[in-house]
Chains A and B, each alone.
Chain A
Amino acid sequence: MKTILITGNRKGIGRYLSELYLEKGYHVVGCSRSDSDLSHKNYTHYLCDVKVESEVKKTVREIKKKNGGVDVLINNAGKASLNHSILTPSETVKDLFETNYLGSFLFSRECSKHMIKKKWGRIINFSTIAVPLDLEGEMVYASSKSAIEKMSRIMSKELSTYNITINTIGPTPVYTDLIKVVPKDKVEEIINMQTIKRFGSFEDISNVTDFFISDESSFITGQKIYLGGL
């Protein structure tokens, strides 16, 4: 049974993906800063702040001891913030880069160590359509996600010889807590920039994650797929 680790899975997209992959027969491991009410015989939850290196290392070490390592990593944990660049506090920049970029990096690095030994692994990172759209007001959020895209591209090259693929999905707005911080008119503006003008669904996302993690996708790495036709 393959083990799939989904970060930031207490709610929203992470929760949906956790339930989906439990249904598909994976052993699912999740982590968040607070407890989860997800209960399943094949589910394990860890308390972990993705931006704290010692907590990430401890979590991955525990998973290795219990499940023999992570086969699939989905770096879903993320934070958003909207503000004009001139009005953005440095703490916000630091916080978003630590949660979005550093968190994805730490989990990718630690999980890769075991994937290298197994000579097999799948890593999926989360970007956003705010990156190609260069949305005003989303400078910090989009920059942190842009850094994730670059990390994915370079790590995919460094780890390709171990049959580890690293790909990125860039969702459109989806009804989650994260989108609640974005004003309605702003969300509409974003949707109108998409080729297909609608909200994304959880199923739109799992369609891409299913593709990236499948055995047949061993030749797909360093790629990014934006939803909505961007």
Chain B
Amino acid sequence: MKEKIKSRLVKLLNQFVNENEIELDKDVVLDENIRLIGTTSVFDSMELVQFIVEVESLLDEEFEIEIELASEKAMSRRNSPFISISTLTEYIVDES
């Protein structure tokens, strides 16, 4: 299940970047380790919000996982779940 979610989220990330015409450096590979937050993030703050909404929706529709990613619990973690698709997947699996 974990690998399935991770792989689906990487696919979503690629779709999202294409659809929103987000400009990336030439050598950037959109895989499970790409930074989603911070100074080297592929997103600006609003794109991150939009991506989180897309992830919540996908989890509900395709995996029947109802989870609020922007919860108090997620935000107050010492290590943010939003660092990469890998950490996000870990959080989703832990919480669902």
Contacts and interface: CB of A to CB of B under 8 A. Distances in A.
Interface of A: 57, 61, 113-114, 116-117, 158, 161-162
A162 B49 CA distance: 12
B53 A117 contact: yes
B31 interface: no
Nearest to B60: A61
A172 B12 CA distance: 48
B41 to A, nearest CB: 18
B65 to A, nearest CB: 12
A162 B54 CA distance: 14
A158 B68 CA distance: 19
B46 A113 contact: no
B90 interface: no
Interface of B: 46, 49-50, 53-54, 56-57, 60, 66, 68
A117 B46 CA distance: 13
Contact of B57 (A57, A113, A161, A162): A113
B60 A117 contact: no
Contacts of A162: 50
A161 B56 contact: no
B56 A113 contact: yes
Do most interface residues of chain A lie in helix, strand or loop, or is the interface mixed? helix
A114 B56 CA distance: 11
A139 B38 CA distance: 42
B46 A161 contact: yes
A61 B57 CA distance: 10
A116 B66 contact: no
A71 B50 CA distance: 17
A116 B53 contact: yes
A61 B53 contact: no
A149 to B, nearest CB: 23
Contacts of A158: 46
Contacts of B57: 113-114, 117
Contacts of A61: 60, 66
7 contacts: A57-B68, A61-B60, A61-B66, A114-B57, A117-B53, A161-B46, A162-B50
A165 B61 CA distance: 27
Contacts of B50: 116, 162
A113 B50 CA distance: 8
Contacts of A114: 57
Contacts of B46: 158, 161
Shortest beta-carbon contacts, A-B, top 4:
A113-B53, A116-B53, A116-B50, A161-B46
Contact of A117 (B54, B66, B68): B54
A116 B46 CA distance: 11
Contacts of B49: 116
Nearest to A110: B68
A114 B50 CA distance: 10
Nearest to A115: B53
